[in-house]
Amino acid sequence: MKHRLYTHTLLAVIATIVLTLAACTPTPENAQESGSLPPVYPDYTEVTIPRNIAPLNFLLRDDVEAVETRAVCGDEEIVVNAKGNTVCFDLGEWKDLMEKAAGHQVEVRVTALKDGKWTAYRPFHWTVTNDSIDPYLTYRLIEPDYEVYQNLTLQERCLENFDERSISNYGLVGNRCMNCHTYGSQNPNLSMLYVRGEGGGAILNRDGHLSKLNIKTKDMVSGSVYFGFSPNGRYIVFSTNWIIPAFHAKPSKRLEVFDSKSDVYVADLESNTILRSELLCDSTVYETFPTFSPDGKSIYFCASPKVELPMELKEMRYSLCRIAFDERTGTIGTEVDTLVNGPADSLSVCHPRISPDNRYLVYTVADYGTFPIWHQETDLRIMDLATGKVDEMKAVNSDKSDTYHSWASNSRWMVFASKRDDGLYGKPYFCYIDSQGKAHKPFVLPQENPHFYDNNLKSFNAPEIGKGPLPFDAMDVKRAVDREPVNFE
Amino acid sequence: MPRLKPRIIEMAVILLWGLACWIFFQFFYQYHFFYQEQNQLFLHTSDYLATYFQKPGWLACMTGDFLTQLYYYRFAGPVVLTFTLLVMGDLLRRAFGRIGKGAWGFWAAIALMTLEAIFFLHYSHRLSSALAVILGTLLFLVYTTTSRMHAIAKVVIGLGLGLIAYRTAGYGWMVYALLATAYGLVRKSTARWWAPVFAALVIIAAPTLTNRHYLLNTAANLTYPGIGRPCLPETELETTLAINNEYYFGQWSKVEKMVEDEPAPNELMLFFYNLVKAQKGELPDHLLRYVPNQLGSFYKIGPDIPLPIINNMNELYWVLGDMTLTERAAMMTNVFAPNNRNVRMVKRLAECNIVSGDTLAANKYLRILDHTLAYREWAGNARKGVGIEELNRKKAFVNHEDTIRVTDNLHMVMMELLDTNPDNVVALDYILCSTLLLKDIESFKRDYDRYCIATGKARVKPLYQQALMIWLAGSNASEEEWKKYITDQEQLHRFNEYSQHRGDPRFNDTYWYYFDTAKAPEI
């Protein structure tokens, strides 16, 4: 009897607390219509999103007391009433809404309470595509600098929720430099990352088995820097770059990095040998940013004629080039095609990446040089490989650096690093390329707490999309680093 | 004479210990606290607080860092530390009292408090470490309340509290396990076997189970956030930090006095002394006061440079007015700070972006400072344009022309700054004094001509007059040239006298003497 009394009392107290809390969250009354869009951060207005994306939680950049958000698609509706300026959706409700909204638009109505008055902002929309995005993303978290590092970590994030984990971490491999993690054809069972420093190397993941490779040979100017897998996973094409850091006197331009030497090679991961071509190691040319075409028949790369550095740095302009490759025999072609002539067009091409369906090639253009991440003018461009037509992707680019892009396996989604918010910290943005090759307005990687980006002091570096979770973790990488390397000839 | 009661003696000892601790840290070690405070960025946000759960000892670390932010306020650090150590001692005394009777527990607690206080002599020892001991001891005291319970309940509660100790107190789990083992052995209770078993389990299981989760190696995992080590008082570092911090607080006269009172100031002290003198327009008047001297203009920032020097470089670039390099040095100070967070550098990043007119970047850092306790008022004011007069003044110094610098050769940087703004006297004195320290008379003369003669703004200082005489004499200059450059007749008279007695220590305040006898810094 006494026990039951306690239980009832406890339940009554809990119910009272819950009801009191619920009653404390104000709901709109006599809201005044406003013709302007709500000041949402991140900018999720009129964006195109995949049906399987995590909730687009956001905040209002205003000193509001409460906010109500209604996300409506047909008869499906999510309502979020919250005190303060933060809007966070329930993951389950969000998933239901996305399933219903696939192929349609969601209308988002935001009403906010400020100084005791409710304002109903002009609704905005989310276009939800039937095309899903590959559900995993890897990136490096690093301060926005280039030559110094401390406490680096490579992360993997599930795009369908907010789960994140470390796939290589300074706490386990020592305070080493770590470079980008790259998938082979978005396949989580084929990927590679670099752990630099003494005893480091390229950590190759094949079906979760990690091996350490020493790809550098004596004739190379450095270890491998930018690389990409061939479709069958037997080869990687990579550049070796002698990188020089520099500074701009003008504070708005900040940093500059350029290569004083660079070459391109192919490594055969089966025979542990290096394939060389004079056309890719020309001493009068800087070759860099190599990647295989998804059919394995070509290597795309960027090349600039040698200039006097640093005096002629602003004349250092890279062209987009292509050379044939036979994946069956491991033979590099004998002629280089120029697809975009950098010096002639007064631009510098970087980071060519081809859609897995071999239809589109997206590349970065800057005014000059080879380090677009610090060039605010850097933009993405898309080339239709069937027609050669180039689009400037105006819906995607910003007035800050937009670069380091990577495709999803269905060739409909792309991620890239953009500094559009503050000019300093790169963040992963996703953009939809429809079947006509039209690029839609991108959205930033959603975070569980929408204040995350405001308080974050790390750049998201070299984001890459993967089809599934990687079959290893940071502890496995530590063990691989401790092993003896496989040397290349 | 009546004997004093032991309780009164204990109270008196505690009182005296606390007073001695506070006096030492307040009057002889206070600047170490500012170092701790600036090398973190404690944000009052839920997502920041959630990051503490990613490592062991979240409660000890969160509470420790929360209290460390209070060190910003003068007097707060020694008070917080003394209070923490007294709480630690009191809990240990109580814990020892539960283990056995007699006065030994009191004196053992005093000894451990003193040992922990000695750990705090090291600049990097965190308050969280003392809190780890406090939490471990507190959980042990909770465990001792189970003495009348069934043996199985005691074991279950004991192990549970041990796990809580590991999760919330980091290495406080060791304190808990040690106290419980001693308690079990003395009282012949179940703890005499489960506590060592618990300790063994943690040591065995942590590498396989939690290293992966916490992303730590085994040693760091088991001893997080750091046990500490005995250390002698870092008196030179304390003086260096004092000078650094008084400079930060704008107490220039204190900086000058502290350096001048030092029998042999180190290069970091001299660096700040010169910064103060340069801003007062007196750098050439004091350059030769200390030989060898340290302007900071020959440092090259890189991964091998110690953090205090990178930090200093940020101050030098800031004073000179180069916002590109100020921002970079501030970023790098952040990079090399523990957990890559330094609150003063976040403020500096906001400041330099306000100066360079990059509103988006400035707002990024102002928003972060909005979530701090000590800097939020400054951020709010800066946003309204209040209290940033110095920043507005610096806008005139910002480079308008863009060039690309392959190294952080400060000579080139200062030339660019002077080309942009010939009234930048600090940059002028630094460029001229730097070349003089190197005994590079040709470069000195070139720069003097470019920024003093060609601009019609001759900077007549004894040091510069003396250096010009070396050039004039060395180049067999005409009388007209001597007249053009040398206006201080007293210096001319002394030069003639010195020429008869080269290397005479009576002239040790002159550049001629430095030029003839001192060793130029190697760069």
CA nearest A312 in B: which residue? B404
B174 interface with A at CB cutoff 8 Å: no
Contact A67, A110 (CB under 8 A): yes
pLDDT of residue A325: 98
A162 interface with B at CB cutoff 8 Å: no
B344 interface with A at CB cutoff 8 Å: no
pLDDT of residue A223: 87
pLDDT of residue A256: 87
A315 interface with B at CB cutoff 8 Å: no
A325 φ, ψ (degrees, to nearest 5): -145, 135
Q: Look at residue B482 and give its three-state secondary structure.
A: helix
CB distance B47–A451 less than 8 Å?
Answer: yes
- Calculate how close chain B gets to A331, using CA atoms only, in Å: 39
Q: Where are the alpha helices (DSSP H) in A307-382?
A: 342-345
CA separation for the pair A267, A276 (Å, rounded): 9
- Identify the sign of the CA torsion B96, B98, B104, B105: positive
pLDDT of residue A1: 45
- Calculate how close chain A gets to B27, using CA atoms only, in Å: 35
Contact B389, B422 (CB under 8 A): no
The type of residue at A340 is V
- Calculate how close chain B gets to A169, using CA atoms only, in Å: 7
* Mean pLDDT score, A60-84: 96
* Mean pLDDT score, A261-284: 96
Q: Where are the alpha helices (DSSP H) in B439-488?
A: 441-448, 462-474, 479-485
pTM metric for this prediction: 0.93
* Mean pLDDT score, A261-287: 96
A22 interface with B at CB cutoff 8 Å: no
Q: Which residues contact B476 (CB under 8 A, 6 or more apart)?
A: none
CB distance A250–B331 less than 8 Å?
Answer: no
Of A150, A244, A249, which is closest to B403 when you measure between CB atoms? Answer: A249
pLDDT of residue B486: 95
CB distance A254–B331 less than 8 Å?
Answer: no
pLDDT at A2 over 60: no
pLDDT of residue A21: 54
ipTM of the complex: 0.91
Residues of B in contact with A313 (CB under 8 A): 404
Buried-exposed string A76-103: b where 16+ CB fall within 10 A, e elsewhere:
bebebbbeebbbbbeeebbbebbebbbe
Written as tens digits, the pLDDT of chain B (523 aa) is 556 688 899 999 999 999 999 999 999 999 999 999 999 999 999 999 999 999 999 999 999 999 999 999 989 999 999 999 999 999 999 999 999 887 899 999 999 999 999 999 999 999 999 999 999 999 999 999 998 899 999 999 999 999 999 999 999 999 999 999 999 999 898 999 999 999 999 999 888 889 989 999 999 999 999 999 999 999 999 999 999 999 999 999 999 999 999 999 999 999 999 999 999 999 999 999 999 999 999 887 666 777 778 778 899 999 999 998 899 889 988 888 888 899 999 999 999 999 999 999 999 999 999 999 999 999 999 999 998 998 999 998 888 778 887 766 789 889 999 998 999 999 999 999 999 999 999 999 999 999 999 999 999 999 999 999 999 999 999 999 999 999 999 999 999 999 999 999 999 999 999 999 999 998 7
Residues of B in contact with A474 (CB under 8 A): 212, 215
pLDDT at A446 over 70: yes
Q: Are strands A486-487 and A209-214 parallel, antiparallel or unpaired?
A: parallel
End-to-end CA distance of chain B: 73
**Which of B325, B383, B319, B302 lies closest to A251 in space, CA to CA?**
B325
Of A253, A421, A423, which is closest to B402 when you measure between CB atoms? Answer: A253
Edge-to-edge strand list for the sheet holding A187-195: A178-184, A187-195, A201-206, A209-214, A486-487
pLDDT at A467 over 50: yes
CB distance B302–A143 less than 8 Å?
Answer: no
CA separation for the pair A24, B148 (Å, rounded): 45
- Calculate how close chain B gets to A247, using CA atoms only, in Å: 5
End-to-end CA distance of chain A: 83
Which of A64-68, A482-486, B61-65, B204-208 is least confident?
Answer: B204-208
Over the stretch A87-128, which tens digit does the pLDDT of each residue have? 999 999 999 999 999 999 999 999 999 999 999 999 999 999
Residues of B in contact with A253 (CB under 8 A): 324, 402
* Burial of B429 per CB tally in 10 Å (0-12, 13-18, 19+): buried
CB distance A250–B324 less than 8 Å?
Answer: yes
B421 interface with A at CB cutoff 8 Å: no
CB distance A147–B371 less than 8 Å?
Answer: no
Mean pLDDT score of chain A, rounded to an integer?
A: 93
- Calculate how close chain B gets to A57, using CA atoms only, in Å: 14
Query: What would the two tokens of residue A51 be?
Result: 């049906």
